[in-house]
Amino acid sequence: MGKNLNIAVLPGDGIGPEIIDQALAATKAIAEKFGHTLTYEFGITGAAAIDKVGDPYPEETHQLCMNADAVLYGAVGDPRFDNNPKAKVRPEQGLLKMRQKLGLYANIRPLTIFKSLIDKSPLKNELVDGADFVCIRELTGGIYFGRPQGRSEDGNTAYDTCVYSRDEIERILKLGFEFAAQRRKKLTVVDKANVLATSRLWREVAQEMRPQYPDIEVEYMFVDNAAMSIIQWPKRFDVLVTENMFGDILTDEASVISGSLGLLPSASIGIHTSLFEPIHGSYPQAAGKNIANPLATILSAAMMFEYAFNLKEEGNLIREAVEKSIEQNIVTADLAGTGKAYQTTEVGEWIVNYIKNK
């Protein structure tokens, strides 16, 4: 029986509108094929919203997200605001504001290796072949949101505060344990407990929770060791869970293993509405050129079907279509190598046709 799927679509800046168009086309094709009723509405965010209303995450956009079952998100960022000390508000502030107001407390980034692209990884084949792990990053606490924050009157001293509460840590660790239970039953808690008080609280809470999950193997790893191990032995990991800044850095590092940032989706799980987006940025240099890789955004739509709507078969079909497009070299310039480079729209159309004809 078909479901009613109500989504908010936020294209954002740079290549955001182009890649969102392809993800939305795939979403429409899936909804039609499986008999679901899809409704969607567009909202503004990032630099596009600053230009229109002076706010990177206006209240109208927030209400649109609150009323939706899921948010499909492009990317934010504009070079006009980079290294501009006169900018009173920046596009990225809209994303932080959204995370807070929607309660998006967990960022889920799966890393899988496509066999047909394994040679594009900067690591040796034997290191990455079979790597398959999930990074769970706490998203609404830590040094990015800690107070006080600021600079001294003379401007020569700056300070940030890293703050975590027991409730915040328990919430994200519970998600980590649950993911591990559904996978290979191994959880790696990443911290810096030898230096930071917040990390010591993370480790303390994890140790208290561990008896509730007796079938889960738990290991504790300092963030610097984790950073090395992701490169040296990525196949050792199943589920990693960590705080906000560590997760920001480690997930970007892990993304390189796949061979292209244009391949990796993510989900931000929220108290209210969950959000699905590619992990790459707005890539303004490519905006309007029809060359951007849409696969990460299309795979984010697959995660949306799975996590927001519990529609596994639909998500799997999108994933299969993406994998087949890569196998048949229907890819954009970043993956094409010396072969033919297809346009953003051509890749999207091929995937839609695969879904329709499967």
Q: Which residues are catalytic?
A: 144, 192, 224, 248, 252
| Stretch (H or E) spanning 318 | helix 312-327
Q: Which residues contact 225 (CB under 8 A, 6 or more apart)?
A: none
Q: How far apart are CA 354 and CA 358, in angstroms?
A: 6
| Residue 221, SS3 per DSSP | strand
Name the DSSP class of 308: I
State how far the alpha carbon of 339 is from the alpha carbons of 290, 294, 329, 332, in Å. 17, 18, 8, 10
Whole-Å CA distances, 230 to 102, 121, 176, 255: 31, 13, 18, 10
d(CA 26, CA 32): 10
- Tell me which residue has tokens 């679901």: 36
Please tell me whether residue 219 adopts helix, strand or coil conformation: strand
Q: Max Cα separation, the chain?
A: 66
Q: Which two tokens mark 248? A: 């920001």
How many CA atoms does the CB half-sphere of 199 hold within 13 Å? 16
